[in-house]
Amino acid sequence: MDVSKTKTSFYRRLYVAYLIDSGVASNIPALTEATGMPRRTAQDTVAALADLDIICEFEQEQGARNHAGRYRIRDWGAIDRGWIEGNLQRIKAVLEYP
């Protein structure tokens, strides 16, 4: 499948936001496990959600050390989460994720 870098980057951000919001993968280790992407790519993708006006915040676990906690989507901005759910298989196919 011939797909532009812009599309794969956009879909990767949507998919990561969906995984965080659905609770499937709400921290970097879980994201790397769910997607197979390198740790740095996962970190960069979470940071880039703000470029799409998706508000994603990290919640530190009480009493935990070393950034133990989880990400939470606070606002999807102009993105329709329902569209992501309806096109999940297509997004995963473009990204070549299982």
What tens digit of pLDDT does each residue of 2-26 get?
Answer: 789 999 999 999 999 999 999 999 9
User: Residue 65 maps to which CATH number?
Assistant: 1.10.10.10
Query: What is the rounded CA–CA span in Å between residue 56 and residue 16?
Result: 11
Domain count along the chain: 1
72 belongs to a structural domain: yes
Q: Which pTM was predicted? A: 0.91
20 belongs to a structural domain: yes
34 belongs to a structural domain: yes
Task: Report residue 27 CA to chain centroid gap.
Answer: 10
Domain around 51: 3-93
59 belongs to a structural domain: yes
Helix (H) or strand (E) holding 75: strand 69-75
Provide the token pair at 11. Answer: 């879909």
41 belongs to a structural domain: yes
pLDDT tens by residue, 60-87: 877 666 677 899 999 999 999 999 999 9
98 belongs to a structural domain: no
8 belongs to a structural domain: yes
CA distances from 2 to 10, 62, 63, 95, 98 (A): 15, 45, 47, 11, 18
